[in-house]
Amino acid sequence: MSEPTNAVLPRGVTQEAFGKALEKFRALLGDANVLVRSEQLVPYNKIMMPVENAAHAPSAALTATTVEQIQGIVKICNEHRIPIYPISTGRNFGYGSAAPVQRGQIILDLKKMNKIIKIDAEMCYALVEPGVTYGQLYNHIQENKLPVMLSFSAPSAIAGPVGNTMDRGVGYTPYGEHFMMQCGMEVVLANGDVYRTGMGGVPGSNTWQIFKWGYGPTLDGMFTQANYGICTKMGFWLMPKPPVFKPFEIIFENEEDIVEIVDLLRPLRMSGTIPNSVVIASTLWEAGSAHLTRAQYISEPGHTPDSVIKQMQKDTGMGAWNLYAALYGTREQVDVNWKIVTDAFGKLGKGRIVTAEEAGDKQPFKYRAELMSGVPNLQEFGLYNWRGGGGSMWFAPVSEARGSECRKQAALAKRILHKHGLDYVAEFIVAPRDMHHVIDVLYNRTDAEETRRADTCFNELLDEFEKEGYAVYRVNTRFQERVARSYGPVKRDVEHAIKRALDPNNVLAPGRCGIDLDTYRKA
Amino acid sequence: QAEGQPQWRSGADLYNNVCGYCHKPEVGVGTVLQGRELPVEYLKIMVRNGFNAMPAFPASYVDDAALGELSKYLASLPPLPPRPTPPPAKA
């Protein structure tokens, strides 16, 4: 039997207690599913955050495939006060990846728990286990010629619906607000109980994936971005595959155009004329996803000068803002809405419309069209090559979908990023009323000085946005405690009261979203 | 996957459903791997550790047996020239 070799222990847990827990985990799961050697754990420790790996090193990892095993694991955790950090597919790049929020936590890796329990092609829903990936679902749908389509984040093929939805991630189709389209959840609670939300608790029920709320308090939301339970099954609705899909792009020349773009787009999103989560990508996001790199244009340190960006626009035809959207439905529906869209943007007198026919197989149009129709690709990982070196954090403030607000946020972010020698690489993901203003804080993590700058920069972005009343919708594990403070003390008190009630031993991912009974003190 | 079943159906299956999404020559997020006779030990180091922009994959996602199959499959593909040099900067 292999002994731990990475010399990391969970916080407040003695070597002896840890050893006893490991023995019990082995008896429960078998040796092969209890990982303690450093070479087994190093893959979980790959992070893109500006901090050394040790800060988020796990003490061990467990792989489980059944609800009963997970119940057994939480029992052992309670006996020895072992904190565990559950992951599903663990592809949370820019938000902490697969590494635990606190050093020493044991990773509960559910990747191998990967059954597609059901896809109902008439009622259009899926019920899946945590390890199911979008790639796996996509292949299943294709092989069985099911008339449904997926929605997913850009890491698509290798990411999965449970993990993404537990962090309330987003996609690019009309079903792009993933938590909104989620229906029915099963969680193992810290006391070992198996709780099903919505209609799931009713014996013989066939409406778990049909009606969200059930009866009484509806708790699905309480489990997302939280540490109150371990999700072991999740249902979600699927969009029926439409007869016609018409992706398009509109390219705008100037940074200031964002005001008119957003104000023109909002009514089209609000009315459902454009039904999907539209994106408006900045030049450098567009460049990164088209696989241009900074080194092709400039080698000087610091932020990429505006003159260089203008030159890139000129060379490539990319705009200051690059809007991607799509229409869905019958030919007639698409034609009617296409006229409304082209008329609206035609009146604006700026913006060059590009259709799929014009774009052909050209990138980044192609990958955008695929994401907007649920076809997986990883083209957008080109962003990580812009500066290279493995440094990336998402700074994703929420904004009104109001032009003046978007301009204000973009200018504020750009000023702070430039101060620290980094670039404004961003897109707005557009809902009818809100924007996920997604900014990729890209830096070279192999450069210690640049890494320190990135860390300071992220702190300052949070601080300065907070002064204007803005906060992020999601954040990497290094900043989860910090961001919890943005939302005020009353919310945190409530969250910790719930934590005490459901997980008195603080064994489920303490620190996740700032919820931790050991460190939190009521203000 | 069912108990005792291989994690990936073949080296091609793993390549087409994971690695190829970045490494196929027509994508170009990662470097071309095909036909380079990269030893399985090298692939394993890169996959387990990750490397700069490339994420790591635990064995629960891609196990050693699958990496062995991947290595054979990559060797069976014809080598390609490295992706074309991007246009020079026009400052």
How high is the mean pLDDT in each 10-residue block of chain A (523 residues)?
A: 71 96 98 97 98 98 98 98 98 98 98 98 98 98 98 97 98 98 98 98 98 98 98 98 98 98 98 98 98 97 97 97 98 98 95 98 98 98 98 98 98 98 98 98 98 98 98 98 98 98 98 98 78
Q: How far is the C-alpha of A431 from the C-alpha of A428, rounded, in Å?
A: 9
Residue of A nearest to B18 (CA): A158
* C-alpha pair distances (Å), B46 with each of A352, B54, B64: 42, 8, 12
Catalytic member of A269, A294, A478, A512: A512
Q: So what's the pLDDT on residue A4?
A: 57
CA distance A427 to chain B (A): 20
Picking from A519, A29, A499, A520, the residue whose alpha carbon sits closest to that of residue A229 is: A499
Largest CA distance in chain B: 58
Q: Is the peptide bond before A247 cis (omega within 30 degrees of 0)?
A: no
| Number of C-beta neighbours around residue B18 at 10 A | 22
Cα of A409 to nearest chain B Cα, Å? 27
What's the confidence (pLDDT) of residue A63?
A: 98
| B22 contacts in chain A (CB < 8 Å) | 378, 381
Give chain A's largest Cα–Cα span: 72
Go through chain B and tell me how many residues it has: 91
A420-433 in b/e form (b: 16+ CB < 10 A) is bbbbbbbbbbbbee
Whose structure tokens read 């939280």? Answer: A226
SS3 state at A395:
strand
- pLDDT of A1 reads 45
Instruction: Quickly list DSSP for A264-292.
Output: HHHHHHHTTSS-S-EEEEEHHHHHHHTT-
Question: Do the Cβ atoms of A42 and B86 come within 8 Å?
Answer: no
Alpha carbon of A317 to those of A148, A286, A294, A431: distances in Å? Answer: 35, 11, 17, 27
Q: List Cα–Cα distances, A124 to A2, A26, A127, A150, A238, in angstroms.
A: 47, 40, 10, 11, 5
Give the type of residue at A440: D
* The residue type at A398: V
| Between B6 and A235, residue with greater pLDDT | A235
Q: What is the DSSP string of A43-75?
A: GGG---SSS-GGGG--SEEEE--SHHHHHHHHH
Residue tagged active-site, from A56, A91, A125, A167: A167
Select which of A172, A384, A424, A520 is catalytic. A384
Provide ipTM, 2 decimals: 0.97
Task: Check whether B1 has a pLDDT greater than 90.
Answer: no
The C-alpha atoms of residue B34 and residue B74 are separated, in whole angstroms, by 5
pLDDT at B91: 42
Both tokens of residue A226?
A: 């939280």
Q: Which two tokens stand for residue A218?
A: 């509806």
- Contact list, A109 vs chain B (CB under 8 Å): 58, 60
In DSSP terms, A394 is beta-bridged to A440
- Which residues have CB under 8 Å from A292's CB, separation 6+? A312, A316, A386, B86
∠ CA A167-A170-A175 to the nearest 5 degrees?
125
Chain B residue closest in CA terms to A44: B58
Query: Which of B1, B48, B55 has the CB atom closest to A42's CB atom?
Result: B48
pLDDT of residue A522: 78
Q: Once rounded to an integer, what is the mean pLDDT over residues B7-19?
A: 97
What are the DSSP calls for B64-77, one per residue? HHHHHHHHHHHHHS
Residue A85 and residue A105: Cα distance in Å, rounded? 6
Q: Is B47 exposed, middle or buried (0-12, 13-18, 19+ CB in 10 A)?
A: buried
Dist CA A145 CA A128 (whole Å) = 18
Name the one residue in this structure whose structure tokens are 């007639």: A332
pLDDT above 90 (res B90): no
The H-or-E segment that residue A315 falls in is helix A306-316
Alpha carbon distances (Å) from A193 to A48, A71, A228, A239: 35, 7, 12, 32
Determine, for residues A111 and B21 on separate chains, whether the beta-carbon distance falls below 8 Å.
no
Nearest to A151, CA basis, from A140, A165, A131? A165
pLDDT (0 to 100) of residue A6: 65
Average pLDDT score over residue span B61-87: 87
Give residue B4's pLDDT: 65
For chain A, the residue count is: 523
Identify whether A436 is a catalytic site residue.
yes
Residue A293, both tokens: 């790199």
d(CA A428, CA A324): 11
| A310 CB-near residues (< 8 Å, 6+ apart) | none
Residue in chain A closest to B59 (alpha carbons) equals A40
* Chain A environment of B10 (Cβ under 8 Å): none
If you search the block for the tokens 């608790």, which residue do you land on? A201
| φ/ψ (deg, to 5) at A180 | -60, -35
Mark yes or no for CB contact B60/A63 under 8 Å: yes
Helices A258-270 + A403-419 axis angle, to 10: 130
- Select which of A109, A129, A260, A286 is catalytic: A286
